[in-house]
Amino acid sequence: MRIDVVTIFPAYLDALRLSLVGRAIESGVLALGVHDLRGWTTDRHHTVDDAPLGGGAGMVMRPDVWGRALEDVLALGIDHCVREGAGEGRTVLAIPTPSGVPLDQRRVEDLAAADHLVIACGRYEGIDARVAEHYAGRVEVLEYSIGDYVLNGGEAAALVLVEAVARLLPGVVGNPESLAEESHGAAGLLEYPVYTRPARWRGHDVPEVLLSGHHANIARWRRDRALERTARRRPDMVAALTADQLEPGDRGALARLGLAATPAGPRPLHVRPALSSDAAALAELAAETFPLACPPNMPAEDVAAFVAVNLSPERFREYLADDDRYLVLVAELGGILAGYTLAVLPRAADEPPHAPDVAAVVSARPVAELSKIYVRATAHGSGISQALMDATLAALSGRTVQGRPLAAVWLGTNARNRRARAFYARSGWEHAGSRRFTVGGRVEDDAVYVRPLVESGS
Ligand code: JCZ
């Protein structure tokens, strides 16, 4: 590849002769030319600028000087391509400007595939706009920005572009794995933090997992830190993650960061106690989600009758009004209810759970029932159920019945609902047996699960 930089401060680019880029030049994978724009002036003062037409502050770089410079410099690329046997070659004229397209790794990768890159560094208020317009008819023109801040000229932005492109040329970065593993690669995440010896420095310890030699745990820890950093520092990048970029275990990590992995990408998830003003929305959500949890052969009329009686806005208002007995939490995704939980506390501390198999397995009292944990079908698999369950268990851990803290929670789920059963088994619930349950006069079997509660604060 050949890169030519045109500037009124050629010495600014001396730094490129150092380090990796310097080695790329020495090894021959990169030919770099730096040219003084004043070499193409014709007056004895070597004038490159003139006043802005239409008025305004500062000066503008003259198109005639730039035109002569670019004719000569573009010709150097033709010679280079012929010598390299690259045929016509691909030429890009890159012009740094704060009003350009943001430079990112995708674009750098694309530019690294060009044969000739010419970088035109402006100063003052920039280059007469007709220069970019004129050359766009002859070569690819890219007006680019290296960030939303203002420099005095294009030279620093040229250094940035040359360094970013040069390190992608074959043989420039010693270990191609370091290229593959980096930030802004296909992973769509920032890098995890890195450490070296000593294991303790000024009272700061290296995270223990990195000394464990357990490769799977190290990989998970690094992935979690990368997700956490990206969520905090670059919410735009996290929001742009697609399902194919997520690995098993990422949903849980995102949920702990308050993000649900929706089909549109991770979105902020807010779990809070339900308010009386949520009753109508809760009833609507319940009517949508309850049928999904029903046995597949249950007649639609029975499902509808159950919803009308037990999941009406009026019933929700009753649940919400009786907060000694009911705990209702909702999950909001982008301000919209995406799921809810309904837990039922016993009236008396020694009241046995309303499922004989649970009573047989758990002797401790009081015991609450996690009656509903429903998530809108469109949000299934997003980690909302996990977040709702974690929040519900945390809230129940702080509750007492007649002064005694809750000892355990149980729940029943349709025995044939494999998705739900796998979810409970995965999240630390113990299968305790089954219970009979009637809906619309039909007998159904539920699998029952239990979980002990640890008192909050202990
Ligand atoms: C010429 N001022 C060229 C580019 N990202 C970014 N910030 N500032 C620039 C820039 C500023 C300039 C010129 C005169 C680029």
Ligand 1 centre to CA of 151 (Å) is: 5
Confidence check: pLDDT of 457 > 60: no
pLDDT at 173: 82
Ligand 1 centre to CA of 124 (Å) is: 9
The CATH class of the 265-452 domain is alpha beta
Instruction: Kindly state the tokens that stand for 392.
Output: 């519900």
Q: Is residue 16 helix, strand or coil?
A: helix
Banded model confidence at residue 298, pLDDT cuts 50, 70, 90: confident
Tokens 């469109």 belong to 378
pLDDT at 184: 72
- Per CATH, the number for 2-174 is 3.40.1280.10
To which H or E segment does residue 384 belong?
A: helix 384-397
What whole-number percentage of the chain has pLDDT above 90? 80
Between residues 174 and 252, the one the model is more confident about: 252
Confidence check: pLDDT of 179 > 80: no
Residues touching ligand 1 (Cβ under 6 Å) are: 96-98, 122-123, 126, 145-147, 149-154, 157
Q: Identify the top-confidence range among 81-90, 338-347, 377-386.
A: 338-347
Question: What mean pLDDT do residues 318-323 have?
Answer: 96
Ligand 1 centre to CA of 126 (Å) is: 8
- C-alpha of 329 from chain center: 26
Confidence check: pLDDT of 439 > 80: no
What is the model's pTM? Answer: 0.84
Residue of the nearest CA to atom 3 in ligand 1?
154
CA distance 52 to 47: 15
Phi-psi region of 401 (alpha: psi -120 to 50; beta: other; left: phi over 0): beta
pLDDT at 76: 97
Question: What mean pLDDT do residues 142-167 have?
Answer: 98
Banded model confidence at residue 292, pLDDT cuts 50, 70, 90: confident
CA distance 62 to 49: 5
Q: What is the largest CA-CA distance in the chain?
A: 102
- Quick one: DSSP state of residue 352? P
Question: What mean pLDDT do residues 281-288 have?
Answer: 95
Question: What mean pLDDT do residues 436-452 have?
Answer: 86
Is residue 440 within 8 A of residue 451, CB to CB? The reply is no
Question: What mean pLDDT do residues 199-213 have?
Answer: 98
- Calculate the average pLDDT of the chain: 93
Q: Is residue 154 helix, strand or coil?
A: coil
Q: 33-47, 295-309, 360-374: lowest mean pLDDT where?
A: 295-309
Q: Is residue 215 helix, strand or coil?
A: helix
CA distance 80 to 92: 14
- DSSP string spanning 221-284? HHHHHHHHHHHHH-HHHHHT--GGGPPTTHHHHHHHTTEEEETTEEEEEEEEE--GGGHHHHHH
Q: Which one of 151, 159, 160, 161 would you pick to mutate in the ligand 1 pocket, going by the greatest count of ligand atoms within 8 A of its CB?
A: 151
Ligand 1 centre to CA of 137 (Å) is: 23
pLDDT at 185: 67
Banded model confidence at residue 455, pLDDT cuts 50, 70, 90: low
CA distance 109 to 12: 24
Confidence check: pLDDT of 281 > 90: yes
Give the model confidence (pLDDT) of 50-64 as tens digits.
999 999 999 999 999
CB neighbours of 66 closer than 8 A, spacing ≥ 6?
6, 37, 40, 120, 127, 128, 131
Banded model confidence at residue 442, pLDDT cuts 50, 70, 90: confident
Give the model confidence (pLDDT) of 235-266 as tens digits.
999 999 999 999 988 988 998 899 999 888 99
Give the model confidence (pLDDT) of 369-420 as tens digits.
999 999 998 888 888 998 999 999 999 999 999 999 999 999 999 898 998 9
pLDDT at 67: 98
**Which residue ranges make up each domain of the chain?**
2-174, 191-240, 265-452
Ligand 1 centre to CA of 89 (Å) is: 28
Instruction: Kindly state the tokens that stand for 381.
Output: 């698999």
Is residue 99 within 8 A of residue 144, CB to CB? The reply is no
Query: Quick one: which atom of ligand 1 is closest to the CA of 152?
Result: 2
CA distance 329 to 342: 7
Q: Is residue 312 helix, strand or coil?
A: coil
Instruction: Kindly state the tokens that stand for 251.
Output: 């949903």
CA distance 50 to 64: 11
Superfamily of structural domain 191-240: tRNA(m1g37)methyltransferase, domain 2 (1.10.1270.20)
